[in-house]
Amino acid sequence: MSVYDFKVKNQKGEEVSLKDYEGKVLLIVNTATGCGFTPQYEGLEKLYEEYREQGFEILDFPCNQFFRQAPGSDEEINQFCSLRYNTQFPRFKKIEVNGNKADPLFKYICTQNGKYKRVKWNFTKFLVNRQGEVVARFEPTEKPESFENKIKEELAK
């Protein structure tokens, strides 16, 4: 099994197969617009701009599960991120990442790498290699620029 076996919903509620991203290095992130870590969008966008031509994608999954820090609609969240941080990477429908209603993708990736079997907070980041395997997990306190070399390593493989 790999992340490519999952389907998610885009902002319009349409099903998207992660098979569409097969062969790319992915950074899967649960985000929130009203969190102390929200400025990480800037660093994420810089990574995206730098490496997307080499096969790097960021998949952004807004989540309102942690102290309701992503309260807006999917459209409002997208507008905020686009206008405030000029983000261009794909953003999907708001989801839950823990508990009984957790999205199946997040249930899976949480069990693949790291000592935690659940998402601790907003801006937990999962690095996925070109084969669809989770190869690293970065906690919310880890800024995007701190793991740039790990992304470059995966892109070089």
Interval 98-125: pLDDT, tens? 999 999 999 999 999 767 789 999 999 9
List the domain range (segments joined by +) for residue 32: 3-156
pLDDT for 116 equals 77
Q: Which residues are catalytic?
A: 35
> pLDDT tens digit string along 33-45?
999 999 999 999 9
The full DSSP string for 12-73 is TS-EEEGGGGTTSEEEEEEE-TTSTTTTHHHHHHHHHHHHGGGTEEEEEEEB-TTTT---S-
Q: Does 49 have pLDDT greater than 90?
A: yes
CATH code, domain carrying 104: 3.40.30.10
* Count of domains for the chain: 1
Q: What is the mean pLDDT of residues 6-35?
A: 97
Q: What is the mean pLDDT of residues 6-28?
A: 97
Kindly indicate the confidence band of residue 24, based on its pLDDT and cuts at 50, 70 and 90. Answer: very high
Q: Give the model's pLDDT for residue 104.
A: 97
The pTM of the full predicted model, rounded to 2 decimals, is 0.96
